[in-house]
Amino acid sequence: MKMLRFGPGGIPLSTKERSTFSGIERIRELGLDCMEIEFVHGVNLKEPEARRIGKRAQELDIRLSAHGPYYINLASLEKQKIGASRAMLVQTARACSWLGADRFTFHAAFYQKRDKSRIYEMVKEQIRIMRSTMDEVGLKNVRIDPELTGKATQFGDLGELIALAKEIKGVQFCIDFAHAQARSAGEVNGYEAFAAMLQQIRDGLGQTALDDMHIHMSGINFTAKGERNHLPLADATIDWQGLLRALKDFSVGGLLVCESPDLEGDAMRMKEFFTQQ
């Protein structure tokens, strides 16, 4: 079975010096082994510092991923915003290459009351362009991982993401199991539901897609319309133990990024449970 690594989405809260470099060192002190760099408000990391961070992460055997800016919409009603979104994501990919991170995730688009199949085609076209641009500028080794989103108004259900990965080489996805629970207004929860999602991935893309997954996990507060905010695992209804058992049974490897408000605490809690199975 491939290794499943656990770590926080962002700098651990217990890091004394609030810097990404110090956060990498704190992750190793905590016994965690991955970290997602958060570019949610824009890519403001300079190349020299990014390379310094990447070198230290490699020395400490910490795998890195990244999250692109929040204000992305590859199916915007305004063409200018589509181009700007694509440019920001290519910029995220370039930062990944400096960091030694081999993947980045993002919320791809909104349906805005339009036909889902039309939005799928728009997103697919933009990701194809982005993939081609990245390949041309030397970013072939950075994987594009659009995220499973937390509201039914957002592009990114599991079927759409699997279809994109089938159609475009160098694209997979980030599966956020808390978002799956919220998107379904609570119906997707528990071992059987999570195992069914993993089986759907295996059926669509093969076991290799499970060997190096990009996963987000937290507790989540939601309404009938979907996600409201993240919660600590202790305060949430999500069956995180059932998820971890499913990940073990399906021989899942890759990165499990904790987005809980109890950032490193819940990451450590999940890693301990997983390794004891």
Count the Cβ atoms, other than its own, within 10 Å of residue 73.
21
pLDDT of residue 245: 98
pLDDT band per the 50, 70, 90 thresholds, residue 159: very high
Residue 172 to residue 210: CA distance in whole angstroms: 10
Is 248 exposed, middle or buried (CB count within 10 Å of its CB: 0-12, 13-18, 19+)? Answer: middle
Q: pLDDT class for 117, splitting at 50, 70, 90?
A: very high
DSSP state of 2: P
- Using DSSP's 3-state secondary structure scheme, residue 207 falls into coil
Q: Is the pLDDT confidence value at 40 over 60?
A: yes
pLDDT (tens digit per residue) in 171-207: 999 999 999 999 999 999 999 999 999 999 999 999 9
Residue 36: its pLDDT value, please? Answer: 98
Asked if 15 contacts 263 with a C-beta cutoff of 8 angstroms, the reply is no
State the chain's maximal CA–CA distance in angstroms: 50
Position 1 pLDDT exceeds 60: no
Helix axis angle for 191-205 and 240-249, nearest 10°, is 40
Query: Where does the pLDDT of residue 160 fall: very low under 50, low under 70, confident under 90, or very high at 90 and above?
Result: very high
Which pLDDT tens digit goes with each residue over 129-151? 999 999 999 999 999 999 999 99
Q: List, in order, residues 6 or more apart from 228 with CB less than 8 Å away.
A: 182, 220, 221, 222
Find the mean pLDDT for residues 203-225.
Answer: 97
What percent of the chain has pLDDT above 70? 100
Read off the pLDDT band of 2 (50, 70, 90). Answer: confident
**Mean pLDDT for the chain overall:** 97
Global confidence as pTM: 0.96
Sequence-ordered list of residues with C-beta below 8 angstroms from that of 195, at least 6 positions apart, any chain: 246, 249, 250
Structural class in CATH, domain 4-276: alpha beta
Residue 37 has pLDDT above 80, yes or no: yes
What are 227's two structure tokens?
Answer: 């996600």
What is the three-class DSSP state of 228?
strand
Question: In angstroms, rounded to a whole number, what is the distance separating the alpha carbons of residues 109 and 41?
Answer: 17
Q: How far apart are CA 212 and CA 255, in angstroms?
A: 7
Give the pLDDT of residue 166.
97
Contact of 199 with 189, CB cutoff 8 Å: no
Check: CB of residue 146 under 8 Å from CB of residue 161. Answer: yes
Q: Are strands 143-146 and 226-231 parallel, antiparallel or unpaired?
A: unpaired
pLDDT-derived band at 277 (thresholds 50, 70, 90) equals: confident
| Dist CA 109 CA 73 (whole Å) | 4
